[in-house]
Amino acid sequence: MKLITSLLALALTAVVVAPTSAQDDRRPNDRYDRRASEAQDRRDRDRRDSDRRADPRRDPDRSDSRRDTRTEWMYPGNGGGSFRWEGGTDWTEANSTGKYLFREVRRTPRYVELIDDSRGAVARIYDTEAFSRPAGGAEWNHLYTGHWR
């Protein structure tokens, strides 16, 4: 009985220690899978980086448009106020009724276009005038007369 127990223990040890043929077959694939996974990781990282470079909201300096000196637009009407660039695509409008947050969505040589995401209102600021369009509206309305500081 002791001999059978010893042989059984030895057989179980050999099974646990010795690699199976399934494990041997998998090893080359693991190496291939790891290389494929690393290549996919590089592609994903490159894609994220190119998206980051293309998206001005992710680059607070926005070197191309920062050569543009239009960073604060002031108006005397309705108690006075201003639109001020805060960095990235963030703008604020401060006037006698409060402070409003805007996001820059377009910048051309003629105007800067801002949107208030909370209200859906859009503002276009030209050199001497600002216009607004309500959420879902198609018509631009005169908002203020002012100037770039």
DSSP for 22-33 reads HHHHHHHHHHHH
Whole-number pLDDT of residue 67? 78
The number of beta carbons lying within 10 Å of the beta carbon of residue 114 is 28
Cα–Cα distances in angstroms (integers) from residue 13 to residues 5, 19, 112, in the given order: 12, 12, 76
Where are the strands (E) in 54-97, listed by range? 72-75, 81-87, 90-95
How many residues are recorded in the chain?
149
Q: Which DSSP helix (H) or strand (E) runs through 8?
A: helix 2-17
Taking alpha carbons only, the member of 109, 136, 140 closest to residue 124 is 140
For 40, the enclosing helix (H) or strand (E) is helix 21-54
What value, to the nearest 5°, has the Cα angle with vertex 76 and ends 74 and 68?
A: 15
- Measured at the alpha carbon of residue 93, what is the angle toward residues 87 and 94, in degrees to the nearest 5? 115
pLDDT at 89: 95
Nearest alpha-carbon partner for 29 in 37, 41, 40: 37
CB atoms within 10 A of CB 130: 21
Q: Quote the pLDDT of residue 60.
A: 45
Per-residue pLDDT, 36: 67
CA-CA distance, 149 to 142, in Å (whole number)?
A: 20
Per-residue pLDDT of the chain (149 residues; tens, 9 = 90+): 666 666 666 665 655 555 555 555 555 555 556 666 777 777 766 665 555 445 544 444 444 555 789 999 999 988 999 999 999 999 999 999 999 999 999 999 999 999 999 989 999 999 999 999 998 888 999 999 999 99
